[in-house]
Amino acid sequence: MTPAHLSKAIGNSLKWVHKNMHFFDPTKKLLPEKQSHKMFSELQFFLSELVKGQSFLNRQAQDIIDEIRSFSRRIILSPDYYEQLQLYPSKFRMYGMAAMYFLSYWNGDDIQTIKDVIGRTCKTAYSISPEMPPFRKMEYLYCICSIPDIFNGNTDIEPSLIDEYARKSILRSSLDLANYTIHDEYAMTHAVFYLTQMGKRKIIPDEYPNIKECLIILAIKNMYEKDLDLLGEYVIDLCFCDCYSNEHLPTLIDFILNQQRSEGFFPRPQRNSIVDTKAMNHDSQDTDSIDNYHTTLVCAMALTNYLRNAFQH
């Protein structure tokens, strides 16, 4: 496994995403509303991470990233999209999070409108969703705090609140791994994303004992299960926790690389299909695209994070 291998694998996954880009457009209404917005939101999260490693990729991959960014800009800045944030503050998680991840990577001057919409809406959206699990609150707070113009206008929202919710999250639980469900594992991976602020902050071992050990054991366990979705998220977590010297990480990365299909996607784990594509009269090729997009985005992020940092350690 070399930087060239990693770069090629990431490039192939980007080509696959680019080829299936139309499914990520919620304004096209090709899929049910919730599904299409989820895909678009995850694409923005993906881009916000991938742009950090863009310089490690070849010219073709960089061009694809730029195209997907422009595609995203067109959607975010259309009134058809952004007016939904004000109309439906309870759907902020669907519409607003995508916009906030977009703002974290877009450098243009044409984004004041969307900033104003988010600035006006996010406080209401945050306070009308008290039942969100702690890791979702952490995500919310992380996104708001990472956009200075919006954050500075909301004195009720402080970065320290992320720590407050982290202490109520699964990270401070009894770590009852033998009883964990898939949802518990997702709660773990996501809580680490936002506690570390996507790798910018270190986890203090005394405050969160055994967390790194947990991440390693669960990553290996998901390798046995061939669950690339969770495995990819644990690899991202290990990168964010600065575990590049951990002896398991190369094995985990090699395993991920070996699972990539020739078309460029990473196959979803063998659980239920994400959406009933038969009901929407999609053919099997569309089903493959819709079913495998999430795992492909996650694995590409894992490989990018590793590529950015591992070879400097």
Partner 1 sequence: MKYGEWFNNNLSTIHLYPYDSFLVFNTLSMLHIENHDVYELKHDLVNKIEKLEIEDLALAPKFQIMLYSYLQNNPHDKITLLMRDWVAYLNKTTITDGDYSFPMYFFQELPFVPEKIVVNAPSQNAYKTFIQNSKTLPKRVLDYLEAHLIYHFQRNNFMIGMDLLKVTSALHIRNFITATCINKLALNFNVLGYFGLYQKTDFSETEKRHIFYRSLEALNILTEYCDHYDSLEKKVFDYHVKQ
Closest distance of CB 221 from partner 1, Å: 5
Choose between 129 and 246: whose C-beta lies nearer to partner 1.
246
- Torsional sign, CA 107, 113, 118, 119: positive
**CA-based end-to-end distance of the chain:** 15
Site of interaction with partner 1 (CB under 8 A)? 174-180, 210, 213, 216-218, 220-221, 223-225, 247-248, 251
CB of 29 to partner 1, least distance (A): 39
Closer residue to partner 1, CB minimum distance, 251 or 287:
251
Q: Which is nearer to partner 1, 95 or 180 (CB)?
A: 180
CB proximity list for 96: less than 8 A, separation 6 or greater: 85, 118, 121, 122, 125
Contact criterion met (CB below 8 Å) for 162 and 184: no
> Each residue of 203-220: b (16+ CB within 10 Å) or e?
beeeebeebbebbbebbb
Q: Please say which residue, 155 or 224, places its beta carbon nearer to partner 1.
A: 224
> How crowded is the C-beta side of 33, counted as CA atoms within 13 Å?
6
Q: Which residues contact 203 (CB under 8 A, 6 or more apart)?
A: 192, 195, 196, 211, 212, 241
Least distance in Å: CB of 202 to partner 1? Answer: 21
CB of 217 to partner 1, least distance (A): 5
Residue nearer to partner 1 on the CB measure, 26 or 232: 232
**Cβ 228 to partner 1 shortest distance, Å:** 15
User: Taking CA 234 as the corner, what is the angle to CA 233 and CA 237, rounded to the nearest 5 degrees?
Assistant: 90
* Residue number with CB closer to partner 1 (224 or 279): 224
CB distance 243 to 255 below 8 Å: no
The least CB distance from residue 296 to partner 1, in Å, is 24
